[in-house]
Amino acid sequence: MSDLVAAAESMKKTERFTRANWVAELASRAGLLIAILAVIAYGSIANPAFFSTGNFVNVLTSMSIVGIVVVGMTFVLVVGGLADLSVPATIACGAILSLGLQPMIGPVPAFVVAIALAGVIGMLNGALVGYAGVNPIIATLGVGTVGLGIVQAAVGGVIVYGTNPASAELVKGRILGIPTVVIIFAVIALIGHFILSRSYWGRWTTATGGNYSAAQASAVPVRAVKAGAFVITGIAAGISGGLLGLTLQSARPLVGTGYEFSAITAVVVGGVSIMGGFGSVPRAIAGLIFVQLLTNVMVLEGVRTPVQGFVLGILIAGAVGMDAALRKRGGG
C-alpha cells in the first residue's frame, strides 16, 4: 500500500523542477497511472470479484457522486482557497430539497431549486473568503455548520423520502449500458476541465492561486475569481446531493458527511497543489480513481471502515507533505 503511494509520489517529484522536459512531464503523468494499474493488478489477483463488470460499474457509480464534488473542489484548491468544508451541508441541501420539494413543485423544478440554494451557500462562502478575506477553512466550517443546521431545522431533523419514482428510475437508469449518473459526471468533468484549462476564467483561477498580488496587478478580478471557485463547488455539491437523493430516494441531514474529505483526498492525491496555482481536473479525477479503487479493494478484502478512514487521512497528510517538500526544494 505505502509502496504504491511512495511510487506515485516519487514519480510526481520530477514534475515541478523540469516542467519543460517532456520526458519528465510524461513520467509525472504516468506516476498516478502506474499506481492505478498496480491497484487494479493487486485487486484482480487478491479477489476474483474485483475484476468484473458489475464491480467496475459499482465503483464508477459511487465515484461519480463524489467526482462531481471533486471537479468543484479542484477549482477551490487551484485558486488557493485551501478547501471547502461546507460540502456536507450543500450535499444535504441538494438531497433534501430535491426530494422534499417534489410534491409541491414537481421533480425537475425541485432539483433546480435545490442546486440554486446550494449555489447560494457557495456564494456566501465566496463572499466571506473572496471579499471579506476570511480564512477559507474557518469560513466554510462556519457556513457549513449554519447551513446544515438550517436544513435540519427545515425538515425537523428527520429523513425525507422521495415521492416520484419516475425521477428515481431516470437517475438509476442506463443509457447504452452506462449509468446515467456516470454520464452526468463525465459531462460535468468535461465542462470543468474546459473551463479550467481553456477559458479566461480558468487562467484567472490559476493565476490567482499562483500569485495573488501579481494576478491583482495584472487586472485579474481576483476577488470574484476566488469567490467563483466556491460558488462552483457549491453548485457541484448541490448537483451531487440532488443525484444522491434521487438515487437513494431518501435523504438524511447527515447524508453528505465525509464527502468533503473524499473530495479533498482525491484532489490532493491527484497532485493538485494545496497552496494553489497548479492543478487540473483530469489530475484530480486520476486521484479520485486511485482512491476509489483502493477503497474498493479494501472493502472487498474486508478491511474495516475505521482503517479505511485511517488510510485516507495518511494519504492526505502524505500528499500534502510531499507537495510542501517539493515546493521548498523547487524554490517556489
Partner 1 sequence: MRYLALALQYRVGIILGLTLLISALVVPGFLGLTTLNLGLDRASTIGIIAIGLTVLLIAGQIDLSVGSVFALSGVVSIILQPQLGILPAAVVGILAGMLAGAVNGLLVVGLKVNSLVLTLATMLIFRSIAHWITDSQPVSGIDIMFSLKVSQTYLEIFSIRSALFLAAIVLLHVWLTRTIPGRNVFAVGSNAVAAKESGIASGRIIFLSFMFAGGMAGVAGVLQSLVTNTGSPVFGSELTVMVIAAVVVGGTRLEGGRGSALGTLGGVLTIGALTVAMEFQSVPAYIQQVVSGCILILLVVLDRTVHIRPGTGREPARAVQPITQGGGSA
Residues binding partner 1 (CB under 8 A): 82-83, 85, 128, 132-135, 137-139, 141-146, 148-150, 152-153, 157, 253, 261, 264, 274-275, 304-310, 312-314, 316-317, 320-321, 324-325, 328, 331
Minimum CB separation of residue 19 from partner 1 in Å reads 20
Minimum CB separation of residue 315 from partner 1 in Å reads 8
Look at the alpha carbons of 324, 328, 330, 332 in this order and tell me if their dihedral is positive or negative.
positive
114 or 148: CB nearest partner 1: 148
Alpha-carbon distance 223 to 42, whole Å? Answer: 46
Minimum CB separation of residue 42 from partner 1 in Å reads 22
299 or 320: CB nearest partner 1: 320
Alpha-carbon distance 35 to 30, whole Å? Answer: 9
Minimum CB separation of residue 26 from partner 1 in Å reads 28
Minimum CB separation of residue 22 from partner 1 in Å reads 28
| 96-124 core/surface letters (b: 16 or more CB in 10 A; e: else) | bbbbbbbeeeebeebbbbbbebbbbbbbb
83 or 168: CB nearest partner 1: 83
Which three cell numbers mark 46? 487478491
Letter for the amino acid at 82? L
Alpha-carbon distance 226 to 218, whole Å? Answer: 15
Minimum CB separation of residue 84 from partner 1 in Å reads 12
1 or 307: CB nearest partner 1: 307
Alpha-carbon distance 30 to 96, whole Å? Answer: 40
DSSP H helix total and E strand total for the chain: 15, 4
Look at the alpha carbons of 271, 272, 278, 279 in this order and tell me if their dihedral is positive or negative.
positive
33 or 303: CB nearest partner 1: 303
61 or 308: CB nearest partner 1: 308
